[in-house]
Amino acid sequence: MNDRRRNGSIAALALAVATLAGACGGGAKTGSSSAAATQPVPQSGAAAYGFACSSCHGADGSGGQGPAIGRTLAGSKYDQVALATLITNGKGAMKGYAGDLDPATIEAIALYVRTELGQ
């Protein structure tokens, strides 16, 4: 009985880790396998950021599983084109969203991050 409970706990822990890794892309740079590909994506920058980015970067851009971003960080480090390219292609552990979000939504997220996030 004790082994059965321990095996159930291990299985639950493995499922939780896999779910968390998938939420931020798990470092994979594949396109349409994420949840964003199967769910409708809001078109405003703030809503799209909340949908695709906040689980890793935080609702206010203060970071968490991913690094802190926001107007003072991303806005000073990246121009609009560079940030949209980063979102499209990914960088390091961050997956690219080219297969999951359309270019207009990616542009809206980049503009939101550079001008409003963290204000």
pLDDT one-digit tens code per residue, 43-91 = 699 999 999 999 999 999 999 899 999 767 787 888 999 999 999 999 9
> In total, how many domains does the chain have?
1
Structure tokens at 6: 């321990």
How many whole angstroms separate alpha carbon 5 and alpha carbon 24? 30
pLDDT tens sequence across 1-25: 444 444 343 433 333 333 333 444 4
- Assess whether pLDDT exceeds 60 at residue 101: yes
Residues 71-82: tens digit of each pLDDT: 677 878 889 999
* Residue-range definition of the domain harbouring residue 100: 2-115
> Cβ contacts of residue 105 below 8 Å, gap of 6+?
41, 43, 48
Residue closest to 66 by CA, chosen among 115, 16, 113:
113
Predicted local confidence at residue 33, as pLDDT: 41
CATH number at 73 reads 1.10.760.10
